[in-house]
Each structure stands twice: as structure tokens, then as C-alpha cells.
Amino acid sequence: DSGVTQTPKHLITATGQRVTLRCSPRSGDLSVYWYQQSLDQGLQFLIQYYNGEERAKGNILERFSAQQFPDLHSELNLSSLELGDSALYFCASSVGLENYNEQFFGPGTRLTVL
């Protein structure tokens, strides 16, 4: 158990809908990262937050947004969902900003868009 929790585990929804994925980082970790894992794209970094502020952006679509709250939990919002958004979404956390810090991953949320 990495100490990172994600809810829900599974999500099934329809095209055009909006969903929110939730992540709680390990105790003491200030950095939260979101990743998307799909068969065709592999593991892709989406976005990073550190202590409530956005720090880095990857290949995140404009339809997607995220935030980190004062209690350090984070939410990833996916809107106007398309079939291609079906994927595993992982949250990870690390202690700080340094590149050498390993990231600890949650169990993921499997999103299915029908």
C-alpha cells in the first residue's frame, strides 16, 4: 500500500458527461501528480500541483482541469467526455519538488466512457 488513495476505483459514464476523480496523497507529501494510462498512449503525465499551486503541465487537454485543496487532496475534472478518454487515471505524490524524489502511485481510477 503506497499510502495514496484514489476514488472511485471504477467509473462508467457516457460521452459528453463530466466526472471528478479524487486523490489523497501520502501523509506529509506536498506534491501531487496526475497521469493517464492507455493502451495507445502509454503512461502520460497530465499535471502537477505543489502545496496548492500548479507547478507543471503535460499533455493535458483543455477539457481537463485539476486543483489541489488546502488539505492537499486533489481532484481531476474531466468534462465533455469522449470515447478516447477511457483510460486508467493515476494520482501520485512525492515529498517535494525535487526531481530525484520518487513518486508514490495510487491504485488508479478506471474510467470507461460509453
Partner 1 sequence: AQSVAQPEDQVNVAEGNPLTVKCTYSVSGNPYLFWYVQYPNRGLQFLLKYITGDNLVKGSYGFEAEFNKSQTSFHLKKPSALVSDSALYFCAVRGPEYGNKLVFGAGTILRVKS
| Cα 74 to chain centroid, rounded | 8
Determine which residue in the list 36, 48, 68, 74 makes contact with partner 1, applying CB under 8 A.
48
Distance CA 57, CA 53 (A): 12
Note whether 108 binds partner 1 by CB under 8 A.
yes
Cis peptide, bond prior to residue 8, ω within 30 of zero? yes
Note whether 107 binds partner 1 by CB under 8 A.
yes
Site string for partner 1, 74-103 (x = CB under 8 A): ----------------x-x------xx-xx
Determine which residue in the list 45, 52, 60, 95 makes contact with partner 1, applying CB under 8 A.
45
Distance CA 42, CA 23 (A): 21
Distance CA 78, CA 80 (A): 7
Note whether 106 binds partner 1 by CB under 8 A.
yes
Distance CA 14, CA 22 (A): 19
**Could you list the residues that contact partner 1 (CB under 8 A)?**
2, 4, 33, 42-43, 45, 48, 56, 58, 90, 92, 99-100, 102-108
